[in-house]
Amino acid sequence: MSDKVLLDYGSGGRASQRLISELFLKHFANPELDRLNDAARLELDGPLAVSTDSFTVDPIFFPGGDIGCLAVHGTVNDVAMLGAEPLYLTCGYIIEEGLPMEDLERIVVSMGAAARHAGVRIVTGDTKVVPRGTVDKIFINTTGIGRIVADPMPSGDRAAPGDAVLISGTMGDHGLTILGTREGLSFEAAVQSDCASLNHLLLKLVREIPSVHVLRDPTRGGLATTLNEIAISSGAGIEVQEKSVPVRAEVSGGCSVLGLDPLYLANEGKFICILPEADAEKALEIMRADELGGDACRIGSVTEQNPGKVSLVTPLGGKRLLNMLEGEQLPRIC
Amino acid sequence: MSLTLLEKFHDPDLCKGLLDKLHSLVDREFRFMEVCGTHTVAIFQSGLRSLLPEKIVHLSGPGCPVCVTHESEVNAFIDLAGRDDVIVATFGDLMRVPGSKGRSLKKAQADGAKVAVVYSPPDALKLAADHPDKTVVFLGVGFETTAPAVAGTLLMAREQGLKNFKVLSFHKLVPPALGALMTDPEVNIDAFVMPGHVSAIIGLEPYRPVAEVFGKSAAVTGFEPVDILGSLVFLVEAWKSGEPKVANLYPRIVRDGGNAKARAVMEQVFRTSDALWRGIGLIPGSGLEMRDEFEDHDAKKAFGIEIVESPALPGCRCGDVLKGKLRPDQCPLFKKACTPASPVGPCMVSTEGSCAAYFKYSMD
């Protein structure tokens, strides 16, 4: 194959076949995909969870991951947040003409490894190559399908007064890593993306604690925006203790320099769990026993007060609104 | 457990002591103006607002650089961004500021204008080096805090011979705005919380007339809860003593004499000029324009930009908010026609804007 992705590779002819057989099949191999039919035949029964997401991250390689593994983690996590076991993924690649083949291979290898680690099969896919300048290097879409295990299913509208609000670890690592890498900023200590598939931990959690009311991953918009979505859909209030929210020192330092708030930064390997107070300790034990939940902690409660709003109790004991993010966070003048 | 220096400025016990003292001292209404928007945000963000005595009225002043950028200046940015031969480089918080027709750089960008968000003026200089076929215009908005860095970058541009790097200078100076406020008979302020960052450059001297001419106290302070509480205690005590004082309560950053080197760089490149302030109007000697020696880098001259004073946006009361005449939540547009998603005025756009702070943090 050429050392760069050419428009020929998206032509549907021999070049496309070579790309598929020598690259994608090599790293994604599984019985459903290997048949190379127009569609994959799947055996599924019971309630299903389906989620789709498109990944357009810049830069495509960053400390802690790349666009390939992110495209697996992101969709696997979205499916798993319904208390589901993710089983299958589809993937669509839109590649800019001229992308180094080496970069594409690195992304495909990473995606294959992430899928195997998460225990999901990439069963069908599509590759398009578009002229230089019409996309930025590479975009990947993934759709995930999973079998819902939890009954009743966790859902954002089930947060109820008296529930505890837990998170699985530190906030803002992914968002600051991407921003820092994009802008060529170096922070005092290395900041790394937390991107990871959480499905194994989440399945263990919902199997052992059927009372889990809400599972959500605070991706774009961060913790603050996701909690607001939950408060709005459940009609309950959420009160967060600021000092309980774990943020790495290097992340809070980087945010301070850039005028950003870590509570609004994206996470790709963390989740929020809301469940009855009585089961909170057990949930934390399960989370902390897993390497992806080592920093799990309780950050607040669901309340009857301030319905539909999220309030933050500051370390001084003052209370303020923790509002939803409007647009993207932008660096300030001074 | 020992606290780091920064943690000490957040220490809840220390804050509680200062809060108790403040509650015992405050027996009448005090109207304090936070000249700098960052103080307003810090008061909300730390939760202090819900803990301070109710009789302390916080007024936000004209110290948010985005908020005081005049509609006419914003129109000039947007017109410039529309040129094919120009890349506009700016700090992020100017992106959503509406001009007089409700257009913003963000909307211009969506229409194809080349706008780059940068983190520092030297980033804009690098952009110019990387795009020799375009003229990179850095939007020079900000006070004495940012003007020296812009001036330093212009010196670098001259050294490197990068004539395609230009600055559109709408910099503003804080002391003349304070003078304009204090001579406005409708403005009712007991004391000022002065901006820490600006003071690091200009020092205390320019604030002396606040006490000596206008009989008000002023405290230069930092942005941590202990800094802010300490300054409020000082200002209440100064008022009670009957002797107006100007004090530096931020000695870890601000020297009484300021930063002479930064001022020298600023003065080498810029000279004072009259400037338009949003909501306030023309304040003589309150702006910075580029000296003739730097005309190669002056975007105003290169593109023949003339500021045509456009009328204020209908219904927008940002001017009254900036003068402390109106609280953000008293504006008829607040949370109705004016929200961060669709800001009518700049006080709702800037992260330092008081309307944005009320919208973002107030539980009411």
pLDDT tens-digit readout, A225-239: 999 999 999 999 999
Residue A332 in this model has a pLDDT that exceeds 70: no
Cα(B66)–Cα(B96) distance, integer angstroms: 10
Q: What is the pLDDT of residue A331?
A: 63
Name the residue with tokens 């295990």: A149
Q: What is the pLDDT of residue A179?
A: 87
Q: What is the mean pLDDT of chain B?
A: 93
Residue A189 in this model has a pLDDT that exceeds 90: no
The alpha carbon of A109 is separated from its chain's Cα centroid by a whole number of angstroms, namely 19
pLDDT-derived band at A334 (thresholds 50, 70, 90) equals: low
Contacts of B66 in chain A (CB under 8 A): 333
Residue B65 host element (H or E) = none
Contacts of A313 in chain B (CB under 8 A): 47
**Strands (E) located in B35-153:** 56-60, 86-90, 115-117, 135-140
Contacts of A332 in chain B (CB under 8 A): 91-93, 350-352
Contacts of B362 in chain A (CB under 8 A): 320-321
Reduce the DSSP state of residue B265 to 3 states and report it. Answer: helix
Listed range (A24-33, B243-252, B349-358) with the worst mean pLDDT: B349-358
Listed range (A124-128, A147-151, A183-187, B307-311) with the worst mean pLDDT: A183-187
Q: What is the pLDDT of residue B172?
A: 97
Beta-carbon separation of A316 and B45 below 8 A: no
Q: Touching check for B141 and chain A: CB below 8 Å?
A: yes
Q: Touching check for B38 and chain A: CB below 8 Å?
A: yes
Residue B204 in this model has a pLDDT that exceeds 60: yes
Burial (Cβ within 10 Å: 0-12, 13-18, ≥19) of residue A45:
exposed
And the tokens for A147?
């079998």
Q: What is the pLDDT of residue A333?
A: 57
pLDDT-derived band at A55 (thresholds 50, 70, 90) equals: very high
Residue B287 host element (H or E) = strand B281-290
Beta-carbon separation of B143 and A334 below 8 A: yes
Q: What is the pLDDT of residue B10?
A: 87
Q: Touching check for B46 and chain A: CB below 8 Å?
A: yes
More confident residue, B331 or A326: B331
Most confident range (mean pLDDT) of A315-324, B301-310, B349-358 is A315-324
pTM listed for this prediction: 0.89
Instruction: Report pLDDT digits (tens) over B155-174.
Output: 999 999 999 999 999 999 99
Q: What is the mean pLDDT of chain A?
A: 94
And the tokens for A255?
């945010």
More confident residue, B2 or A145: A145
Beta-carbon separation of B142 and A185 below 8 A: no
The answer to whether the beta carbons of residues B9 and B222 sit under 8 Å apart is yes
Nearest Cα residue in chain B from A311 = B363
Cα(B41)–Cα(B47) distance, integer angstroms: 10
Q: What is the pLDDT of residue A253?
A: 87
The three state secondary structure string of chain A is CCCECCHHHHCCCHHHHHHHHHHHHHHHCCHHHHCCCCCCCCCCCCCEEEEEEEECCCCCEECCEEHHHHHHHHHHHHHHCCCEEEEEEEEEEEEECCCEHHHHHHHHHHHHHHHHHHCCEEEEEEEEEECCCCCCCEEEEEEEEEEECCCCCCCHHHCCCCEEEEECCCCCHHHHHHHHHHCCCCCCCCCCCCCCCCHHHHHHHHHHCCCCCEEECCCCCHHHHHHHHHHHHHCCEEEEEHHHCCCCHHHHHHHHHHCCCHHHCCCCCCCEEEEEHHHHHHHHHHHHCCHHHCCCEEEEEEECCCCCCEEEECCCCCEEECCCCCCCCCCCCC
Buried b (16+ CB within 10 A) or exposed e, A267-287: bbbbbbbbbbeebbeebbebb
Contacts of A333 in chain B (CB under 8 A): 65-66, 91, 93-94, 141-142, 146, 352
pLDDT-derived band at B63 (thresholds 50, 70, 90) equals: confident
Instruction: Report pLDDT digits (tens) over B11-54.
Output: 999 999 999 999 999 999 999 999 988 899 999 999 999 999 99
Q: How much is the average pLDDT of A233-255?
A: 95
The answer to whether the beta carbons of residues A154 and A198 sit under 8 Å apart is no
Q: What is the pLDDT of residue A186?
A: 62
Q: What is the pLDDT of residue B2?
A: 63
Q: What is the pLDDT of residue B344?
A: 85
Nearest Cα residue in chain B from A312 = B47
What ipTM was estimated for this complex? Answer: 0.84
- What Cα–Cα distance (Å) separates residue A319 from each residue in A162, B26, B363? 19, 21, 8
Instruction: Report pLDDT digits (tens) over B111-159.
Output: 999 999 998 999 999 999 999 999 999 999 999 999 999 999 999 999 9
Residue A86 in this model has a pLDDT that exceeds 90: yes
Q: Touching check for B109 and chain A: CB below 8 Å?
A: no
Q: How far is B178 from chain A (nearest CA, A)?
A: 19
Residue B312 in this model has a pLDDT that exceeds 80: no
Q: pLDDT above 70 covers what percent of chain A? A: 96
Residue A138 in this model has a pLDDT that exceeds 80: yes
Residue B353 in this model has a pLDDT that exceeds 90: no
Q: Touching check for A184 and chain B: CB below 8 Å?
A: no
Q: Touching check for B92 and chain A: CB below 8 Å?
A: yes
Residue A9 in this model has a pLDDT that exceeds 70: yes
Beta-carbon separation of A306 and B363 below 8 A: yes
Beta-carbon separation of B341 and A316 below 8 A: no
Of A315, A323, A333, the CB nearest to B66: A333
Listed range (A142-146, A199-203, B242-246, B311-315) with the worst mean pLDDT: B311-315
Of A183, A312, A333, the CB nearest to B141: A333
pLDDT-derived band at B4 (thresholds 50, 70, 90) equals: confident
Q: How far is B152 from chain A (nearest CA, A)?
A: 16
Whole-angstrom Cα Rg for chain B: 21
Of B49, B225, B341, the CB nearest to A326: B341
Q: What is the pLDDT of residue A187?
A: 60
